[in-house]
Amino acid sequence: MTAALKNYHARMQRVLEHIDQHLDGELNLEALSDVAAFSKYHFHRQFTALFGLSLHRYIQLARMKRASYQLAFRDAISVTEIAMDAGYEAPDAFARAFRQRFGQSPQVFRKSPDWEPWLAAFGPFDNARRKRMQKTYTAQDVTIRELPPTTVAIMQHQGDPATLGTTIQRFIAWRKSVGLNPKISATFNIFHSDPRMTPPAEFRLDLCARTDRPVEPNVEGVRSGTIPGGRCAVLRVVGEVDDLEPAALYLYRDWLPSSGEELGDFPLYCQHITLFPDASAHEVVKELFLPLK
């Protein structure tokens, strides 16, 4: 990539970060073209050409993605608050737009989300964020750490990755019931299978919360477990809400063969340092751990 193209992409990346930070505010063409330092007369076409969807639609989808996360995973926030934060003057206008896009009212989605149309609706948005402006990793981004064992409570997700959101809802509800707030209890995922290579019915991922307390028998099937200590290659990932695939691919395809290291006997896992929608999308931080011998 030429220096000029890198600079062009960096200016567009500033726009995406500005949108993330100001979803509650005014996001007009003139202000955003100023952020990118491009002419307002051409910026809309530049944005559409690079990202594959219009600026207006991108902003709508960014607001709707945050709203849907708040509905599904943050039940302390009212539907009215979520509607206002998404830029709607009244809850009924938000409800119409939400139903039109996802096929469910906000209230129904909050209770029992249908994730398949949700994933389909955000396909163009997710593609714009991760494919057009994908981060490039280097060996300097990877550190090797010696880590202590971590005792955790584990809820297993087994089945289609498209239904993972429902398992997350159940896990959040269980954590609340036992007082494992993410602010004091670190959140981990253990990746037992690759969704690209695994039949949907066989896909497995563990949702984990750090705890030193024993896990009492429960109807949700949450059990005690341990993330073993030892040496790990660690890659810090910033600004990816849902997709860790590029970072994982870099570790396996590029970093590992050139490092001289050998893999350990525990799956790839990650820790969520900050969580969306509590943090803006570009401020979400995860650390990806590749266990080593």
pLDDT of 25 reads 87
* 51-69: pLDDT as tens digits: 999 999 999 999 999 999 9
Per the CB < 8 A criterion, the answer to whether 53 and 132 are in contact is: no
Render pLDDT for 111-133 as a digit per residue (tens, 0 to 9): 999 999 999 999 999 888 876 66
Distance CA 289, CA 283 (A): 19
Q: How many CB atoms lie within 10 A of CB 241?
A: 20
pLDDT given for residue 241 in this prediction = 73
Percent of the residues in the chain that have a pLDDT greater than 90, as a whole number: 85
Adjacency order of strands within the sheet including 204-210: 142-147, 230-238, 285-291, 269-272, 187-191, 204-210, 150-158, 223-227
Query: Average pLDDT, stretch 169-198?
Result: 94
pLDDT, residue 240, reads 75
Residue 143's Cβ-count burial label (10 Å; 0-12, 13-18, 19+) is exposed
List Cβ neighbours of 81 (8 Å cut-off, separation of 6 or more).
none
Q: What is the mean pLDDT of residues 272-287?
A: 93
pLDDT at 134: 66
Residue-level pLDDT at 239: 84
Q: Is 117 helix (H, G, I), strand (E, B) or coil?
A: helix
pLDDT for 1 beyond 70: no
pLDDT reported for residue 95:
96
All structural domains of the chain: 3-126 (1.10.10.60), 139-291 (3.20.80.10)
C-alpha angle 238-54-117 in degrees, rounded to nearest 5:
70
Mean pLDDT of 146-168: 96
Q: Say if residue 135's pLDDT is above 80.
A: no
Taking Cα atoms as reference points, which of 222, 242, 103 lies closest to residue 161? Answer: 242
pLDDT of residue 226: 98
Q: How many CB atoms lie within 10 A of CB 131?
A: 12
Residue 133's pLDDT is what? 62
